[in-house]
Structure 1
């Protein structure tokens, strides 16, 4: 396989298309990072819930500790205040669940953006580059073996109007083994791929 042409104009076009594809993907990766950061900012209430829950739990624990020293009712009062600390635990748990859900949503948004950016690259750019690499690799191998196979490829793959530049019957000239026609056909096939004749 040969990924790049030998002729400067075709090579420049290929390099430009590769650069556009890479820039496209990089821009969408940056956009995905920005979108993820924006969604993660929604975690602020979750952090505040965790802090508030922890503070509430600590306050009830301190109050229960203090209440336990009250004569006659201290134990009952401390038990009731201790159970109030479970409200802080519920708040902490809710905040943690909120953080987890928002984190998952942020990652999902980033993945969707990157995946959406890859669709045109995988559907348009990559198949064309692979087709070119295969065709160019085969043409280079045929060029080393001689012009006959390249001429046959030109007959089967180039448009009829281009083939008529050689003459009205380019296939007949190839079958007859006309060396000039074969060389011109081979050159046309190589030129179509941006490759040098030799």
Structure 2
């Protein structure tokens, strides 16, 4: 396989096409990173819930400890206040779940943006580049073997209007072994791929 042509103008076009594809993916990668950061900024309420829950739990635990020293009703009061500390645990748990959801959402948004950016690259750029690389690689191998196969490939792949430039019946000339027509057809096939004749 040969990924780039030999003629400067064709190489420049291919490089520009490749740079546009790379720039496209890089721009969307950057956008995905920014979007993920924006979603992660929504974590602040979850952190506040965790802090509030932790503070509430500490307050009720300290109050229960203090209440246990009260004569006669201390144990009952401490038990009631101790149950209040579970409200703090619920708040901490809820805050943790909020953070998990936000983290998952941020990751999903980032992956979705990158995936969407890859669709046109995988649908248009990559197949075109692979087709060219295969065709150019085959043409270079055929060029080393002689012009006959290249001429045949020109007859099967180039538009009929272009083939008429070498004569009215280029296929007949190829079958008859007309070396001048064969050389012209081979040159046309190489030129169509941006490759030199020799």
TM over 0.5: yes
CA distance in 2, matches of 1:170, 1:38: 63
- The alpha carbon displacement at 1:173 in A equals 0.8
Residue in 2 that maps onto 1:160: 160
Provide, for residues 104-145 of structure 1, a one-character-per-residue CA deviation record: whole Å limited to 9, x for no partner: 011111111000000000000000000000000000000011
- Alignment pair present for 1:67 and 2:67: yes
Residue in 2 that maps onto 1:82: 82
- The alpha carbon displacement at 1:78 in A equals 0.7
Residue in 1 that maps onto 2:100: 100
SS at match of 1:46: helix
SS at match of 1:165: helix
Aligned Cα root-mean-square deviation (Å): 0.5
Count of residues in Structure 1 that have an aligned counterpart in Structure 2 = 198
Task: State TM-score, norm by structure 2.
Answer: 0.99
- The alpha carbon displacement at 1:60 in A equals 0.4
- Alignment pair present for 1:57 and 2:57: yes
SS at match of 2:166: coil
Task: State TM-score, norm by structure 1.
Answer: 0.99
CA distance in 1, matches of 2:132, 2:92: 58
Runs of 5+ consecutive residues of structure 1 not aligned to the other structure: none
- Alignment pair present for 1:170 and 2:175: no
- The alpha carbon displacement at 1:168 in A equals 0.6
CA distance in 2, matches of 1:90, 1:192: 71
- The alpha carbon displacement at 1:27 in A equals 0.3
- The alpha carbon displacement at 1:69 in A equals 0.7
- Alignment pair present for 1:5 and 2:22: no
Provide, for residues 2-42 of structure 1, a one-character-per-residue CA deviation record: whole Å limited to 9, x for no partner: 00000001100000000000000000000000001111111
Runs of 4+ in 1 over 4 A off after TM superposition: none
